[in-house]
Amino acid sequence: MLGTAPDTARETDPPDEREPEERAESGRPAILRPDAWRDMLRYLRPQRRLILLGGGLSLLGGFSGLIQPVIAKSVVENLESRSPVMAALIALTALVLVSAVVGAIGTFILMRVSESVVLSTRREVIRRVLWLRVAETDKIPPGDLMSRATADTTLMRSAVTTAIVETVNGSVMLVAILVLMGVMDWVLLLTTLAVVLLGGILVATGLPQLESAARRAQEGVAELSTALERALGTFRTIKASGAENSEAEIAERGARRAWRHSLKVARLDSLVGAFITVTIQVAFLAVLGVGGARVASGAMSLGSLIAFLLYLFYLVPPLGALVTAMIRFNVVAAAMSRVSELLRLRTEPESAPRPAPAPSDRAPAPASLSFHDVVFRYPGDGPVVHHGISFEIPAAGMTAFVGPSGAGKSTVFSLIERFYEPQSGTVLLDGRDVHELDLGELRAAIGYVEQDAPVLAGTIRDNLCIGMPYVEEDELRRVVDQARLGELVARLPHGLDTEVGHRGTKLSGGERQRVAVARALLRRPRLLLLDEVTSQLDARNENALREVITGITAETTVVVVAHRLSTVSMADRIVVMDGGRIRAVGTHEELLSEDALYRELAATQMLLPVSELEASAARIGDTLGERP
Ligand SMILES: Nc1ncnc2c1ncn2[C@@H]1O[C@H](COP(=O)(O)OP(=O)(O)OP(=O)(O)O)[C@@H](O)[C@H]1O
């Protein structure tokens, strides 16, 4: 029985409601924006201990390197005063080794953390994507979702190593070197600072452009994967229509867009690199000029000038790291904003895996269903699909929905399954509003075969047991027989364990439909929704499936959307829909005599029973025969 559990959907409240595009282009580089840091820290917080350890070790490696010029200075001074230098040289060698080893361990730990951040983000993304509300999947195309889950999360790898740790390490090292330089000679320090600050300001102005270029490049990658997903999803149609060129053009547009913007990133990147080199060279010349004069005047020793110049070149790595970190931070911020955008999509509450029914289980009681004044339109600015529809379907028996294409028949099923929410009105299962029912239990009570009867890659067994890992063989045999799959399974080389190919391409359309029906029957549903499941069956299999449907109407309420009269006419009641309204409800005979649209549908869609078709053929023959 269905439990009542208020559906508290997992909502992800965005920390910043503005569109990421808008955030990225608010003018300030990401490294100066609190929202970008908040996003970044959210992903990094779980790894904080390892980040501290790895960052600390890298810093230690850097600091031990910093002492080297001090020892170099004493080596020079000892050489000048002809004192022994062996001890200083040994200390220098030891320091070089220690700083290299400690630095390498720190780097490895940070890389490990980066991979962990990518893994945990991907896991979060996977859980989000699979629990997305159906309505949300209309907002971002699947290819784009895939690109965010793969390419964008890959970019986030550099969040830890370059963006965060290098910012912190670079800043600490920079300050330490500047302090040491100040201790050596504050006049030279001021000279250096003046040049470096000027360079820094110029670099910072280019960063916002870099972030927006990085984001656009990622959007280009997403465009490419969306186009490929679209083409591969309809591969045979593309081939049959000779549309390879036009589809390639669409995919290439994305690739070119990614290339164009990545080039912009590369351009800015290399400009910044060259700029740092020039800045340090200018600082070197300035320090050499001012320092040379100070050595000549006796204000400082030659050893101090050499040590100062060494420190000046020591500035290059932390400065480079800081600038690279700023650049990476901007690229990562762009990727993170795309991933966060995905994580902000609304999801359904997670439900527990469904237990598989056993052969000994008693058949569940069939469910009743009713709609009351349901008004529905799909999200977006499309027209109203259901204009206040109401109908009652008692428990057990078979009900068929018929009507012209686009009348809103399949949408009825989507509302029962709660893929979408109606704007007003109620959908009741066993007299209870479906919105008050636990979503997992609601769906467990329903067997649903959607219009295209999708079959997934894998074996027939995988397809039947989707979502139910432990199914008894007897149960499988039962549904295989019921869905008239026995002959097919016997014919296949590996029986139920035969691979069916991507989207079941190794099966015929009718076989796919029967696999989908068997999958729904395996769940022993209380309500079975079949959307045009007999459309691709030959007469023999359709008859057989009709027998199955008739056979289960005692234990399951069966609702079908159908166009074939052979299926429709055996229903206990038929609901005729037109333009989002219920036009008439009745049996086949009642509707044939009372409803003009039903009569027309039956005639124009060749839904007339064979006897009537023969009669009309005879009438047409007579008419033609009467012509002169
Ligand atoms: N995801 C969607 N977003 C926006 N509009 C949609 C969506 N799905 C269907 N529609 C529109 O809703 C209307 C009803 O669609 P529905 O699939 O329910 O019709 P139907 O009666 O089942 O048609 P058919 O017999 O051709 O399958 C159509 O006009 C369709 O274009």
C-beta of 8 in contact with ligand 1 (< 6 A): no
Q: What is the position in ligand 1's atom list of the atom closest to the CA of 134?
A: 1
Q: Which CATH number covers residue 193? A: 1.20.1560.10
- Rounded to an integer, what distance in angstroms lies between the CA atom of residue 72 and that of residue 93? 11
Residue that is written with structure tokens 């909502």 in the block: 11
Residue 180 shares a structural domain with residue 259: yes
- Rounded to an integer, what distance in angstroms lies between the CA atom of residue 365 and that of residue 342? 40
Residue 333 shares a structural domain with residue 373: no
Tell me what ipTM this predicted complex has: 0.96
Residue 291 shares a structural domain with residue 428: no
C-beta of 580 in contact with ligand 1 (< 6 A): no
- Rounded to an integer, what distance in angstroms lies between the CA atom of residue 195 and that of residue 191? 7
Give the three-class secondary structure for 171. Answer: helix
pLDDT at 581: 96
Question: Is 96 within the bounds of a domain?
Answer: yes
pLDDT at 584: 94
Task: Give the burial class of 551: count Cβ atoms within 10 A of its Cβ; 0-12 exposed, 13-18 middle, 19 or more buried.
Answer: exposed
Residue 339 shares a structural domain with residue 373: no
- Domain residues for the domain of 399 are 369-453+524-623
C-beta of 205 in contact with ligand 1 (< 6 A): no
Residue 278 shares a structural domain with residue 389: no
Number of structural domains found in the chain: 2
Question: Is 92 within the bounds of a domain?
Answer: yes
Distance 407 CA to ligand 1 centre (A): 7
Task: Give the burial class of 610: count Cβ atoms within 10 A of its Cβ; 0-12 exposed, 13-18 middle, 19 or more buried.
Answer: exposed
Q: Which CATH number covers residue 435? A: 3.40.50.300
pLDDT by residue (tens digit) across 219-257?
A: 888 888 888 888 887 787 788 878 888 889 999 999 999
Phi and psi at 118, nearest 5°, equal -60, -45
C-beta of 157 in contact with ligand 1 (< 6 A): no
Q: What is the position in ligand 1's atom list of the atom closest to the CA of 138?
A: 1
pLDDT at 12: 37
- pLDDT category at 604 given cuts 50, 70, 90 is confident
CA 361 to chain centre: 38
C-beta of 300 in contact with ligand 1 (< 6 A): no
Question: Is 21 within the bounds of a domain?
Answer: no
* Neighbour-count burial for 491-506, b at 16+ CB within 10 Å, e otherwise: ebeeebebebeebbee
Please say if the pLDDT value at position 143 is more than 50.
Answer: yes
Question: Is 12 within the bounds of a domain?
Answer: no
pTM over cut 0.90: no
pLDDT by residue (tens digit) across 28-78?
A: 666 677 877 787 788 788 888 888 898 888 778 777 777 777 787 788 888
Give the three-class secondary structure for 457. Answer: coil
Q: Where are the alpha helices (DSSP H) in 405-472?
A: 409-416, 439-445, 460-464
Distance 534 CA to ligand 1 centre (A): 19
Cβ atoms of residues 426 and 411 within 8 Å: no
Residue 174 shares a structural domain with residue 69: yes
Residue 399 shares a structural domain with residue 304: no
Please say if the pLDDT value at position 145 is more than 50.
Answer: yes
- Which tokens go with 61? 């490696």
Q: What is the position in ligand 1's atom list of the atom closest to the CA of 403?
A: 21
Residue 284 shares a structural domain with residue 400: no
Strands 369-377 and 424-429: antiparallel
Mutate to test the pocket of ligand 1, among 381, 409, 561 (most ligand atoms within 8 A of CB): 409
Residue 317 shares a structural domain with residue 382: no
C-beta of 378 in contact with ligand 1 (< 6 A): yes
Residue 233 shares a structural domain with residue 191: yes
pLDDT by residue (tens digit) across 466-514?
A: 877 788 888 889 889 888 888 888 988 888 888 887 777 788 888 888 8
Give the three-class secondary structure for 178. Answer: helix
| Arithmetic mean of pLDDT over the chain | 81
Question: Is 467 within the bounds of a domain?
Answer: no
Question: Is 197 within the bounds of a domain?
Answer: yes
Question: Is 435 within the bounds of a domain?
Answer: yes
- pLDDT category at 371 given cuts 50, 70, 90 is very high
- Rounded to an integer, what distance in angstroms lies between the CA atom of residue 508 and that of residue 520? 19
Question: Is 112 within the bounds of a domain?
Answer: yes
Residue 306 shares a structural domain with residue 441: no
pLDDT by residue (tens digit) across 377-425?
A: 998 888 999 999 999 999 989 999 999 889 999 999 999 999 999 999 9
pLDDT at 183: 86
Please say if the pLDDT value at position 13 is more than 50.
Answer: no
- pLDDT category at 315 given cuts 50, 70, 90 is confident
Radius of gyration for the alpha carbons in the chain, expressed in angstroms and rounded: 36
Mutate to test the pocket of ligand 1, among 405, 410, 450, 567 (most ligand atoms within 8 A of CB): 410
Q: Which residues pair with 448 in a beta bridge?
A: 529
Q: Which amino acid, 70? A: V
Residue 151 shares a structural domain with residue 242: yes
